[in-house]
Structure 1
Amino acid sequence: MSIPVLAVAGHLGAGKTTLLNHLLRNSSGARIGALVNDFGAVNIDAMLVAGQVDAMASLSNGCICCVTDDGEVAEMLGKLAAVKPRLDLIVVEASGVAEPPALARTIMAVDDKRFHYAGLVLVVDATAPADLEHGVRVADLVVLNKASAAGDLVAVTAQVRALHPAVPLLPTDFATIDPRLLIDPAPRPPRAQMSFDELLHEYHHHDHDHPAYQSVEFRADSTLNPRQFMALLRDRPQGLYRAKGFVDFGPGHRYVLQLVGGSVRFERQRRAGTELVFIGTDIDTTALRSALDACLTEPADEAAILGVLKYVV
């Protein structure tokens, strides 16, 4: 199974390393690898996470998006993907000078079936939001860090919304976001397949106190219109960040869906019926449910499935 690669970007001092360390300490046993990318001769960020991460590679005295040889990036990520036992997530923490669009393009350019790009989290210092335009436009999740110390959090939020109205936005302090926004809990010992209610329980019960997010469940016995469903994923309601579960487009086209930010993946499976969980912040649940209902009522033509097939792995 392909390992998701999550990019974390933001200006110097915004809280990227704090977020990574928080994720490492609160990942419910999930195994996380990190590619730490510090700008300077001494890789301080790598030192700060080395004692907690399950596997790590580092690129010092440079910026990952300035590496001209994609093979070097592929090699570093490949080493992490080859770690045994298998990692559940790889986090690429960019230097503060890395531009988010370049970082995303660099990871997406690597062609390796062992891992895949799984979105970009932009950490913003809410007390001094600088040069938001480039980062916010490509972000899959915006973390407004140091929110309680911000002089005008409403104004900062409005700046982000003006640049990217639909992006999930999470105000917090000390980058204490709930890790389950970014990664699933570690697999349990083999047992019977988890029921859908147990899957939901994983998201509603958590020992740590983090800023709230939503989870919206959807079930259907009839098949979905693939064209309508892909339109929903493309033009998703504001605040929707993740989706996962089973999608049934009809015999021969039943899949497991994994959506994280801008990354959409379908894997074939035989299970009939649709059972999905949608996760995010301030989701317009009315718009989401209306769009899902439209997937059930609109009849599908034979060519409708083509929009899904290019995302099947």
Structure 2
Amino acid sequence: MVAVPVIVLAGFLGAGKTTLLNHLLRAGGGTRIGVVVNDFGAVNIDAMAVAGQVDSMVSLSNGCVCCVTDGGGLDDVLGKLTGAVDVIVVEASGIAEPQAVAQQVLGSADPAVDYGGLVEVVDAVEFTATRARHPELDKHLAVADLVVLNKIDRVDAAELAEVFAVVTELADGAAIVTTEHGRLDPGLLFDRRERPKPAQLSFDDLEDHSQHVHAAYQSIVFESDEPMHPERLMAFLDGRPEGVFRIKGYVHFGRHGTLELQVVGGFLRFRPTRSGSHRTSLVLIGVDMSGLEEQLVGCVGEGEEQAMFAVHRHTES
């Protein structure tokens, strides 16, 4: 069974999280996105008659599915969606504190549910005023895996630098990307799928997609036929640079076997695998990837049995 990443999307009123969500639906290519919201009305769909009906579900024209929940049965809703979509986005606003929603996802007993990160959208224009009205924003930033600093086209360079510096301090090592109109590259959050498009063009196909993405992400691939040293690799993972949002792939530990690795923000997990591969193959995704390949080369080397203890602490049974 392939697990479906569940992304928690948070942000105070007006930050642009629904704009970002609608952008993901337009720019996701052939990816089937499941959306969990409190109200259909804010999402660009045609079936507005069902807006506000808890537990209602509607299929979108691009193969995505939208569902309304009051937050009480989030696990049930995720269970309904996992079999039909490639990724799920839960809009945390109005449901609960973002961290509480993320904990629900992390605590899900459904093997088809995988944690995809907590994304906090911040309004660059109203940042100071929002902090004054909602002091809890500081806490939200501290637990976020990815911070999207939105509306940067509406502030000057000096103000943006000041806001960015404060957000960086509060975000405590989380990756930070800047956007205009919520135009975040979907590839930073999930693996896009390519599926045949219908012959008839939609209005979205006619849009100027060259303006959709402002903040580009980077992706690097690391491969090695030599085993990875457990202690060195864990030191790298524990101290990974700011800006690295996702790491995925397989790690070969020599005679200790091969494990699947998933990193999203501050979340790190190894899983047993039956791939039978005897090589390491990792993809690292983020906004500043300089020097990472050299650091991973330094993690190559056979380790003793006791060196695997740190890995086992993060390994699913």
Q: TM-score, normalised by structure 1?
A: 0.80
The residue that corresponds to 2:268 in the other structure is: 264
Do residues 154 (structure 1) and 164 (structure 2) align? no
Give secondary structure in 2 for the equivalent of 1:295.
coil
Q: 2-side partners of 1:25 and 1:47: how far apart?
A: 10
- Letter of the 1:104 partner, please give it: A
Q: 1:306 aligns with which of 298, 306, 309?
A: 309
Q: 2-side partners of 1:2 and 1:306: how far apart?
A: 26
Does the CA-based 8 Å contact 1:6-1:90 persist in structure 2?
A: yes
The residue that corresponds to 1:45 in the other structure is: 42
Q: 1-side partners of 2:43 and 2:213: how far apart?
A: 27
Q: 1-side partners of 2:96 and 2:150: how far apart?
A: 18
Change (3 A) 1:282 1:96: farther
The residue that corresponds to 1:192 in the other structure is: none
Q: 2-side partners of 1:267 and 1:119: how far apart?
A: 21
Residue by residue over 1:9-33, the C-alpha shift from the partner in whole angstroms, topping out at 9 and shown as x without a partner, is 0001111111111111111201110
Give secondary structure in 1 for the equivalent of 2:300.
helix
* Aligned counterparts, 1:1-313, within 5 A: 1-38=2-39, 43-46=40-43, 51=60, 54-60=64-70, 64=71, 67=72, 72-83=73-84, 87-95=85-93, 98-129=96-127, 130-131=130-131, 132-151=137-156, 152-186=159-193, 209-251=213-255, 253-265=257-269, 266-268=271-273, 269-283=275-289, 285-286=290-291, 288-297=292-301, 299-309=302-312, 310-312=314-316
Does the CA-based 8 Å contact 2:119-2:145 persist in structure 1?
A: yes
Residue by residue over 1:57-112, the C-alpha shift from the partner in whole angstroms, topping out at 9 and shown as x without a partner, is 2125xxx3xx4xxxx221111111233xxx11011012267432222223223221
Residue by residue over 1:281-309, the C-alpha shift from the partner in whole angstroms, topping out at 9 and shown as x without a partner, is 123x22x3453233115x52202223334
Give secondary structure in 2 for the equivalent of 1:308.
helix
Give secondary structure in 1 for the equivalent of 2:115.
strand
Report how many aligned residue pairs link the two structures: 278
Please state how far the C-alpha of 1:217 moved relative to its aligned partner: 2.6
Does the CA-based 8 Å contact 2:147-2:177 persist in structure 1?
A: yes
Change (3 A) 1:109 1:244: closer
Q: 1-side partners of 2:235 and 2:316: how far apart?
A: 16
Q: 1-side partners of 2:97 and 2:10: how far apart?
A: 8
Q: 2-side partners of 1:22 and 1:56: how far apart?
A: 14
Please state how far the C-alpha of 1:226 moved relative to its aligned partner: 1.8
- Letter of the 1:15 partner, please give it: G
- Letter of the 1:163 partner, please give it: L
- Letter of the 1:123 partner, please give it: V
Q: CA RMSD in A?
A: 2.6
Q: 2-side partners of 1:267 and 1:124: how far apart?
A: 37
Does the CA-based 8 Å contact 1:12-1:97 persist in structure 2?
A: no
Q: 1-side partners of 2:262 and 2:146: how far apart?
A: 16
Does the CA-based 8 Å contact 2:38-2:94 persist in structure 1?
A: no
Residue by residue over 1:170-223, the C-alpha shift from the partner in whole angstroms, topping out at 9 and shown as x without a partner, is 11101111111111121679xxxxxxxxxxxxxxxx986442222223222210
- Letter of the 1:148 partner, please give it: D
Change (3 A) 1:296 1:218: same
Q: 1-side partners of 2:101 and 2:218: how far apart?
A: 28
- Letter of the 1:90 partner, please give it: I
Does the CA-based 8 Å contact 2:218-2:285 persist in structure 1?
A: yes
Q: 2-side partners of 1:46 and 1:175: how far apart?
A: 14
Q: 2-side partners of 1:239 and 1:150: how far apart?
A: 23
